Amino acid sequence: MTRRSLVVGNWKMDLSHKAEVEIVRSLKELFKGVTLEQTDVVVCPSFPSLAAVADGLKKNQKIAVGAQTVYWEEHGPVTGMVSVSQISPFVDWCLVGHSEQRAITGETDEQVAARAGLLVRHGITPVVCLGENAEEREADQSVDKVTKQMKVLIGALTRAAIAKIVIAYEPIWAISANNPGELPEGDEVAGMAVLIRKVAAGRFGSEAAEKLRVIYGGSVNEGNVDQYIEEPGIDGVLPGGASLQPRQFMEIVKKVEAAA
């Protein structure tokens, strides 16, 4: 079964509004000469820039726009949060469950699942982030942690919905902001992709599980992306800092396309 590859650039809050608009201009120019047949490309700017980035890319067929998170309820008196109806005019994709959101807001697995289900109902593809922290890894609890996160997620989704989500395996200890001393090997990430699909198969069957796209996030850059995308079962990557550099981001995309 052929799954489309995927590269999702997470801009976090590293850039000013002006800088995000300038990156869009650079990406549009750089990607003019890039042929993409098997790869979806997404950039996730900050909320204040969503409209401007979406407008800048509205005629671009190669780069889509995503949000960095969304609240799990459709509307209400929730100060400081953003609803699905507020992002839906601008995005086709949305990150949910990113480790930074989990850490800052105390976001639970159940809330992540609620976000994912809400996005699917609104026709937006959720990229659901999951993974273990350094302490859990040291305690040999990585498999247990990812299994639990997956079971909560798929327990809240229908068979139809599972075909419309993406899983981003993002070990917290490997994220560049955490100053990682090491990164997972490609075969380690591939093993996690197998686990993720195995858990999905337990509820929805092997055919549905094989359709599930799994990507890797954690200090991905042009120099190390090959070790992940060359492994079977890894469908792409979720770069953070590297996505702020238009040329490096383009090179990552080209490598993912070539490996597809």
Amino acid present at 256: V
Tell me the longest C-alpha to C-alpha distance in the chain: 49
Which of 100, 132, 170, 257 is catalytic? The answer is: 170
Residue 105 neighbours by CB distance under 10 Å? 12
Cα separation values, 13 from 138, 161, 184, Å: 30, 30, 25
Cα separation values, 146 from 95, 138, 151, 167, 207, Å: 17, 14, 9, 11, 21
State yes or no: is 98 an active-site residue: yes
Q: How far, in Å, CA of 129 to CA of 131, rounded?
A: 7
Q: How far is CA 189 from the centre of its chain?
A: 15
- What are the two backbone dihedrals, phi and then psi, of residue 6, each rounded to the nearest 5 degrees? -150, 135
Which of 98, 100, 136, 251 is catalytic? The answer is: 98
- What are the two backbone dihedrals, phi and then psi, of residue 67, each rounded to the nearest 5 degrees? -95, 165
Q: How far, in Å, CA of 93 to CA of 244, rounded?
A: 18
So which residues are the catalytic ones? 98, 170
